[in-house]
């Protein structure tokens, strides 16, 4: 059986099992969503948000891209953040990176000529590497350097979230959401907290909005 055919078969079985366990399940879920969490994670197939935190459908609103980046000109990510914050009013935004991230590792080396788009996507990771190069390059092994870069990337992406007008406005009016930076270890399945920014956290002045006249 082809792998996509297996997915369709598994889906039928899952829907049937779910319906048998709870006959009203899909009706209830179809009516509305009230997730309290926005998850911004890596596209890596080994880090499926819902599964690693044992969440049910309806609990996590998600955006995933290569190396879990929040880039201020990326309408895809920004529209997810805007909808999650302004409409769904999520209470927490979690940026979740993972050790051994291929995107992060790639950003620490030369560009691959045949991957023009990926190279562009990784440019801002290279900037993070450059900013922290002294600290990272001091580490002995390639694995240690890549893993520290994964952590610094998560912390930077959380900071970038706090630079967005969407977040600053929500902090001012709703005292929400709380921003979190987590990292996932592929080898034992455990999440580690790296940084937490509650509403009203200090932001460098150059990223703040001017007060209305």
Q: Which residues bind Co ion (CB under 5 A)?
A: 42, 44, 101, 103
> In the complex, what is the shortest distance from the CB of residue 200 to Co ion, in angstroms, rounded to a whole number?
31
CB of 98 or CB of 167, closer to Co ion: 98
In the residue annotation, 98 being an active-site residue is answered as yes
By the 8 A CB rule, do 80 and 38 touch? yes
In the residue annotation, 34 being an active-site residue is answered as no
> In the complex, what is the shortest distance from the CB of residue 92 to Co ion, in angstroms, rounded to a whole number?
21
Distances from the Cα of 181 to the Cα of 19, 151, 159, 195, 211, angstroms: 36, 9, 9, 5, 28
Distances from the Cα of 129 to the Cα of 79, 94, 98, 134, angstroms: 27, 22, 16, 9
Annotated catalytic residue: which of 42, 96, 159, 180?
Answer: 42
Cα–Cα nearest to 104, from 140, 137, 69: 69
In the residue annotation, 96 being an active-site residue is answered as no
The residue written with tokens 């935004």 in the block is 93
In the residue annotation, 44 being an active-site residue is answered as yes
CB of 44 or CB of 159, closer to Co ion: 44
> In the complex, what is the shortest distance from the CB of residue 66 to Co ion, in angstroms, rounded to a whole number?
7
Cα–Cα nearest to 46, from 7, 4, 100, 118: 100
Strand partners, 62: 39
In the residue annotation, 114 being an active-site residue is answered as no
CB of 42 or CB of 60, closer to Co ion: 42
> In the complex, what is the shortest distance from the CB of residue 101 to Co ion, in angstroms, rounded to a whole number?
3
CB of 35 or CB of 41, closer to Co ion: 41
Q: What is the DSSP letter of 85?
A: I
Annotated catalytic residue: which of 98, 159, 160, 180?
Answer: 98
Cα–Cα nearest to 161, from 198, 127, 120: 198
Please give the positions annotated as active site. Answer: 42, 44, 46, 98, 101
């Amino acid at each position: 059986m082809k792998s996509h055919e297996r997915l369709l078969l598994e889906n039928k079985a899952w829907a049937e099992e779910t319906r048998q366990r709870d006959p009203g399940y899909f009706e209830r879920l179809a009516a509305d969503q009230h997730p309290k969490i926005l998850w911004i994670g890596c596209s890596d197939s080994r880090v499926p948000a819902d599964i690693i935190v044992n969440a049910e459908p309806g609990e996590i609103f998600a955006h995933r891209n290569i190396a879990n980046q929040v880039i201020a000109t990326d309408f895809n990510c920004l529209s997810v953040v805007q909808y999650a914050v302004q409409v769904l009013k999520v209470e927490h935004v979690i940026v979740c990176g993972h050790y051994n991230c291929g995107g992060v590792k790639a950003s620490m080396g030369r560009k691959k000529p045949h991957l023009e788009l990926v190279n562009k996507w990784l440019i801002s990771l290279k900037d993070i590497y450059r900013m922290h190069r002294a600290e990272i390059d001091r580490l002995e092994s390639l694995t240690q350097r890549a893993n520290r870069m994964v952590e610094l990337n998560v912390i930077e992406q959380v900071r970038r979230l706090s630079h967005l007008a969407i977040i600053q406005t929500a902090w001012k009016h709703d005292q929400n959401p709380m921003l979190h930076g987590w990292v996932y270890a592929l080898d034992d399945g455990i999440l580690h907290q790296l940084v937490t920014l509650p509403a009203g956290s200090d932001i460098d002045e150059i990223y703040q909005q001017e007060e209305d006249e």
